[in-house]
Amino acid sequence: MRTTPSLYSHRGNQQLKTNVRQLQDAKSILVEAALPAAGRAGTQEIEQLAV
């Protein structure tokens, strides 16, 4: 049984995409902020934490 996608679900999908984009932006900002502060911790460890 087919159901047509409602306007509500489309709006929800758009909101999800926006939220994901904002989360990815925040993650990259956090990584960039953490890199200089890490000192001797090593870039690789920080990148693993960021995944």
- In a domain? residue 2: no
Percent of all residues in the chain with a pLDDT value above 90, rounded to a whole number: 20
- In a domain? residue 6: no
- Quote the pLDDT of residue 19: 92
- Domain residues for the domain of 29 are 13-50
- In a domain? residue 42: yes
- In a domain? residue 3: no
* Arithmetic mean of pLDDT over the chain: 76
- In a domain? residue 1: no
- In a domain? residue 5: no
Please, what is the angle between helix 43-50 and helix 7-38, to 10°? 160
- Quote the pLDDT of residue 35: 75
pLDDT tens for the 51 residues of the chain, in order: 566 656 667 788 888 999 999 999 999 888 888 777 766 566 666 677 766
Provide the 10 A C-beta neighbour count for residue 35: 14
- Whether pTM > 0.75 for this model: the answer is no
Number of domains within the chain = 1
